[in-house]
Amino acid sequence: DGGITQSPKYLFRKEGQNVTLSCEQNLNHDAMYWYRQDPGQGLRLIYYSQIVNDFQKGDIAEGYSVSREKKESFPLTVTSAQKNPTAFYLCASNRDPNNEQFFGPGTRLTVL
């Protein structure tokens, strides 16, 4: 099956810890994205990558970091600098910006 996988589905973190969320796609898409979703709000873009070894900040990049060493993978690290990290995180990809984005199932991060 082609698609996007995210792991883990649920993640708990203590304050002050960095955590890394996984996103993998086998759709052969060049572009990948990370979004944050909070209750009652639309999705907000954290980072995106147009191609391997390249990525750009989105609207709310502070406290987050990413890497894009492989076409299939775009992990997101939530650092201790992120003041309010509890949220639902969604990864997406598309072949190019002119096409619709496909979304993974999401990771729910809770800071204890």
CB proximity list for 98: less than 8 A, separation 6 or greater: none
Measured between alpha carbons, how far is 23 from 13 in angstroms, rounded to an integer? 18
Size of the site for other proteins (CB under 8 A): 29
Whether the CA torsion 20, 75, 108, 16 is positive or negative: it is: positive
State residue 97 phi and psi, 5-degree precision. Answer: -65, -15
The Cα 21–Cα 3 span in angstroms is 17
Amino acid letter, 13: R
Is residue 43 part of the contact set for other proteins (CB under 8 A)?
yes
Residue 54: both structure tokens together = 């390249």
What's the closest the beta carbon of residue 84 comes to other proteins, in angstroms?
A: 18
Tokens linked to 57: 């900040």
33 binds other proteins (CB under 8 A): yes
Q: Using the rule CB under 8 A, is 109 a contact of other proteins?
A: no
Does 65 help bind other proteins (rule: CB under 8 A)? no
Q: How far is the CB of 106 from other proteins (least distance, A)?
A: 5
Is 48 an interacting residue with respect to other proteins (CB under 8 A)? Answer: yes
- Which of 18, 26 has the CB closer to other proteins? 26
Residues that bind other proteins in the complex, under the rule CB under 8 A: 4, 6, 31, 33, 40-45, 48, 50, 56, 58-59, 88, 90, 92, 96-98, 100-106, 108
